[in-house]
Every structure is written in C-alpha cells, then in structure tokens.
Structure 1
Amino acid sequence: MSALLLGLWLAAAQAAPADLDYIDAKRLADADEASVTGPAHAAMLAAQQSLLNAGVVDCALGRPQTDFTAFTIVMRLDAEGRVQQTWRQGSSPLAICLQRYVRDKTVFVPPKAPFYSALEISFTR
C-alpha cells in the first residue's frame, strides 16, 4: 500500500507546476531572474526583449490598439529555454495575443530547469 501512496505523491509532485497560480509563478520568476547576474543577465534581458519585439509585431502590426493597460506574462522554461507554460495578469487583446505567441517559443537557455521568467509590459506617455 505504501508504494501506491508514494506513486500518487510523485504524480502530484510532478503536476505541481501546472497548479501554480499567477502570483506564485510571478514570485518564482522574480527569484529566478534575480539569480542571473553579469553577462548572463544582459543576455537574458536581450532574449526577452527580442521575444517581446517579435510578439508585438506579430500581434499588433496593422491592428490598431486601443487598450494600453499594463500586463505581465510569466513563462516556465525547460532546460533548452522553450516555454512550457504561461500565466498572464491583464486581459487586453495584446496581452492575450502575446501569451499565445510566446507558447512553445525558445527564449534563452536558462541556468536551471524549470526556470521562470516574466515579460512585464507597461505603456507610459
């Protein structure tokens, strides 16, 4: 019977990342990103910017935007840097489209896996 319980516990532990809510995922992203320093940090920021730029072109080019509320997309990356899961705070059409856009994209090779990373977008005048 204990082997069955251990198996159930392992299955639940493996499912845990899918059970994260936005707040927990964002907290993990903040911690993971803070752990990257020096040239690796600059490379991470450049990769995030490149992904964001491509996503904005894909989502907004030729489509007038009227909702400029801030939003955040948190991504869980695997060992190769591919986005495995996303969470979003904000519900503008651009936020929704960018969340879809980043899925399955490769961002950068993280120092560990899983690695949580966030794209925080705000519009100021």
Structure 2
Amino acid sequence: MTMRRLLLIGGLCFMSLAHAQSPGDYTAAKQRADMDEASLSAADASAMHEAQGLALDAAATGCATPTADTSPFVVVAELDAGGKVVRTWREGSTPLAICVQKRIAASTLSAPPRAPFFTSFELSFSR
C-alpha cells in the first residue's frame, strides 16, 4: 500500500471513531455537556460562559421577533479543539429554538480544554 492510501484509510477510521463517540440523541448529549461543564476549572468555566454569552447574544439578535414563542428550550453543542461547533442537539421545537440552534451551529466558542467538548445553552424567559 502506498503511504497516501494508508493516510486516507487512517483518516477515515479516525473520523468513524470520532463520530462514534458523539451521542446519538439529545439526552445523551445533554448528559455529556453537564459532565464536561462540571469538569472545567474556574478560569475555563468563566471563558466558556463569556463565549456562550457572545454566541447567544448574536443568535438572539438574529432570531428575535416581536411575537416569538418564548417557551423554554435547550441547545447542546459539541465543540472541536478550536471551539468550533461541529454538531448540535435541541430540546424544544419553537421557531425561536430552531433559529437559535441554527445560529449556534454556525458559531465558534473559546477553545475547550479537550475535544470533543460538550456544552449547553439553557434558555427560559420571564414574562
């Protein structure tokens, strides 16, 4: 086998393993997010919260409508080593929840201490 072919096969195997580690549903993803967030040092947690706030502000600005259904929802994001969101899950099906999920899916947060890293955005609104 040529070196190029070995690298291609190795890369495909690595991608399969990385995808296999990714949860298949919202519940498993949320559990991973809760564990990953709980494991952060105070400094890393502060940086992650700040990055989440920026991503959420941008999403809220782009998704806001005067008559939006403000039912609570949660978006879980899987981050790569650079903080780029590579996959999302959502609990809640309002147009606002769907819009926010799409915007978060296109976001980059701060680089996490390890990858993959899972984090969640839990939103509820006061009336």
Class of the TM-score when normalised by the shorter of the 2 chains: 0.7 to 0.9
Q: What value does the CA root-mean-square deviation take over the aligned residues?
A: 2.0
After superposition, residues 1-125 of structure 1 pair within 5 angstroms as 13-17=17-21, 20-60=24-64, 63-125=65-127
CA shift in 2, pair 1:115/1:19, >3 Å? closer
Shift of 1:11: 7.2
Range with bigger deviation, 75-84 or 95-104: 95-104
TM-score in terms of structure 2 length = 0.82
Q: What is the aligned-residue identity percentage? A: 43
In the alignment, which residue of structure 1 is the partner of 2:4? Answer: none
Shift of 1:78: 0.2
TM-score in terms of structure 1 length = 0.84
Q: Distance in 1 between matches of 2:29 and 2:59?
A: 21
Shift of 1:105: 1.4
Q: Distance in 2 between matches of 1:76 and 1:11?
A: 15
Structure 2: 5+ residue runs without aligned partners? Answer: 1-9
Shift of 1:39: 1.7
What amino acid is aligned across from residue 83 of structure 2 in structure 1?
Answer: G
CA shift in 2, pair 1:109/1:100, >3 Å? same
Structure 1: 5+ residue runs without aligned partners? Answer: 1-6
